Amino acid sequence: MTPFSGVKEESDLSHLAISNLFSPTALRRAGAGALLPLACLLALFALAGCGEKASEAKVKAAPVEVGVVVMHPQDVPLTTELPGRTTSSLVADVRPQVAGIVRERLFREGGEVKEGDVLYRIDPSTYQAEYNSAVAALKKAEAALPSSASKAKRYSELIRHKAISNQDYEDAKAVYEADLAAVASARAEVENARINLDHTEIKAPISGRIEKSELTPGALVTANQSSALTTIRQMDPINVDVTQSSSSYLTVRQAIASGRISVGTTMTVQLKLENGTIYPYPGKLEFSEAKVDESTGTYTLRAEFPNPERLLLPGMYVRAIVSDGTVNGCFLAPQRAVGRNTKGEPVGLFVDKDGKVTQRVLSVRKSIGHDWLVDAGLSDGDRLIVEGSQFVRPGQVVTAKEMVLDVETGEVRPAQADGAGQEG
C-alpha cells in the first residue's frame, strides 16, 4: 500500500458520494427545496477546478517574443534640406535700338528661340536711305583722294630740289591729309548707317524661351525705350537659390574641421519638387555668398541643374537636398524604436546577452529618413527592440527575434532564415 493510496480512496469515495447525491432516486426523495444547496455545491467544485487550471497556465507561460534589430556602425551621408526658388540662368529684356514703326513680329510667343533669330522687323526705308547717302559720300571722298595724293607726292620731290617754296609743299600735304580724313569719316558714316539699318531687325540676344510680346505690328518704338518688347529666359541649365542659416553653416564647418564629417571634391545637390517628388537630374553647387544677411541671419547658396524637358520653370518653390559630407562610424536607430522617458530624453529598449530587457538613454542628432542619427548610447552588436516594446519592461526576460527594416517604408519584417534572430 502506497502513501497516496488513502488519498486516492478518499477521492474515489467523494466522487461516489457526489454521484449518489445527483442520482434520479436521490433527487426525487429530496424534493425541489434541496436542489438549490446542491447546485451551489456543484458551482464550488467547478470554480476550484478553474483556479487550478489558471495556475497551471500561469506557470507554463513562455517569455514574451520581441523583434530586435542588431546595430552596426556605418558611414552615413549627411544632407540638409533647404528651401529655395528656381531662377533663370540667363535673362534678357528685348528693346529696340532704333526708332520706327514695327512691321512684323517673327516669333511664336512662349516658344524657343535661338541667339540671332529675328524677332521684330522695323520699317527700314529711312535707314536704307541714310545708308545709301553715306555710301555716296564715301565714294565722293575717295574720288578726291588720288589727285591730292599725286600732288603731295610731286611736291615732295620738288621741295628736295628747292623748286617750290615750303608753303606750297605744306599746302599740298595738308590737302592730301584732309582728303584721307574725309575718306575715313565717310567710311565711319557708312558703318554707322549700316549698323542702324541692321538694327531695324531686332534679334534675340540669347537662346531660351521667349515670353509674350508687349506690342503688335504697327506700334511705334523708340531707341532704348524703358519698356521691353519681350523677355527671353534661358532655362537649361536652370539655377536654384536656397538659403541656409549661419548657425548650420558653423556646425557643419566645425564638424568637418574635427574630422567627424568627411567631404569630397564636389558637392552634389538633389531637388525635391512642390508635389514631393524628387527631380531626376542631380545638380551641383555653384557658389555661396560671402556674407550673411543681417536681418535674417542666413546666406544664399546657388545650385545649377540641367533642365532638358523644361520641367522646372523660374519662380518655382523647391527644396534642395544639399550634401554636407559623410559621418563616419555612426549608428542609425529606427525611429519606431526610440521613445522618451519622464525627463524627455530619447531612450531605447535593448535585449542583453542574458535575454533581459534593458533601457538606455541615447544621444540623437537628427532625423534621416525613418531613422535617428545616434551619436552616443549604442555599441556594435546591440539588439534594439523594434517590435513588442509595449509589452515588456526593463528586467523582464524575453525571446528576441531578429528583424530587418524596410528603408523605403520604415516597416519591419522577420529576417531571412539564414540570419534569423537569436533567443535570449
- Of 392, 365, 391, nearest to 376 by C-alpha is 365
Kindly state whether residues 376 and 397 are assigned to the same domain. Answer: yes
Q: Please report the pLDDT score of residue 286 as a whole number.
A: 81
Kindly state whether residues 278 and 356 are assigned to the same domain. Answer: no
Kindly state whether residues 84 and 71 are assigned to the same domain. Answer: no
**Percentage of the chain with pLDDT > 90?**
34
CATH code of 83's domain? 2.40.30.170
Q: Please report the pLDDT score of residue 213 as a whole number.
A: 94
Helix (H, G, I), strand (E, B) or coil at 305: strand
Kindly state whether residues 132 and 172 are assigned to the same domain. Answer: yes
Q: Look at residue 394 and tell me whether its pLDDT is greater than 70.
A: yes
Kindly state whether residues 158 and 216 are assigned to the same domain. Answer: yes
Please write the tens of the pLDDT for every residue from 229-263: 999 999 999 999 988 887 776 766 666 676 655 55
CATH code of 408's domain? 2.40.420.20
Instruction: Confirm whether 201 is domain-assigned.
Output: yes
Instruction: Confirm whether 184 is domain-assigned.
Output: yes
Kindly state whether residues 223 and 311 are assigned to the same domain. Answer: no
Kindly state whether residues 304 and 352 are assigned to the same domain. Answer: no
Instruction: Confirm whether 35 is domain-assigned.
Output: no
Kindly state whether residues 322 and 357 are assigned to the same domain. Answer: no
Q: Please report the pLDDT score of residue 398 as a whole number.
A: 87
This prediction's pTM: 0.61
Instruction: Confirm whether 51 is domain-assigned.
Output: no
Phi, then psi, of 330 in degrees rounded to 5? -110, 175
Kindly state whether residues 314 and 270 are assigned to the same domain. Answer: yes
Altogether, the residues listed in the chain come to a count of 424
Q: Of 163, 197, 230, which residue is a domain's last?
A: 230
pLDDT, averaged across the chain: 80
Percent of the chain as helix, strand, coil, to the nearest 5: 35, 35, 30
Instruction: Confirm whether 319 is domain-assigned.
Output: yes
d(CA 213, CA 353): 76
Q: Give the CA distances from residue 132 to residues 127, 137, 166, in Å, rounded to whole numbers and listed in that order.
A: 9, 9, 41
Q: Hey, what's the torsion of the CAs at 368, 372, 375, 377, to 10 degrees?
A: -160
Residue-range definition of the domain harbouring residue 414: 65-76+329-419
Q: Please report the pLDDT score of residue 79 as a whole number.
A: 78
Q: Radius of gyration over alpha carbons of the chain, in Å?
A: 48
Instruction: Confirm whether 112 is domain-assigned.
Output: yes
Instruction: Confirm whether 111 is domain-assigned.
Output: yes
Q: Please, are residues 422 and 415 in contact by the beta-carbon 8 Å criterion?
A: no
Kindly state whether residues 101 and 214 are assigned to the same domain. Answer: yes
Q: Look at residue 2 and tell me whether its pLDDT is greater than 80.
A: no
Q: Look at residue 217 and tell me whether its pLDDT is greater than 60.
A: yes
Kindly state whether residues 217 and 276 are assigned to the same domain. Answer: no
* Ramachandran sector of residue 417 (left: φ over 0; alpha: ψ -120 to 50; beta: rest): alpha
**Percentage of the chain with pLDDT > 70?**
79
Phi, then psi, of 119 in degrees rounded to 5? -100, -45
Number of domains, the chain: 3
DSSP string, 271-327: EE-TTSPBPSS-EEEEEE-SS-BTTTTEEEEEEEE--TT----TT-EEEEEEEEEEE
Instruction: Confirm whether 153 is domain-assigned.
Output: yes
Please write the tens of the pLDDT for every residue from 40-88: 445 554 544 555 554 444 445 578 888 888 888 888 877 788 889 999 9
Which amino acid, 272?
K
Q: Look at residue 27 and tell me whether its pLDDT is greater than 50.
A: no
Kindly state whether residues 140 and 222 are assigned to the same domain. Answer: yes
Contacts 24+ apart (CB under 8 A), 180-184: 180/145, 182/141, 182/144, 182/145, 183/138, 183/141, 183/142, 183/145
Q: Of 327, 353, 385, which residue is a domain's last?
A: 327
Q: Of 304, 327, 350, which residue is a domain's last?
A: 327
Q: Please report the pLDDT score of residue 416 as a whole number.
A: 67
CATH code of 200's domain? 2.40.50.100
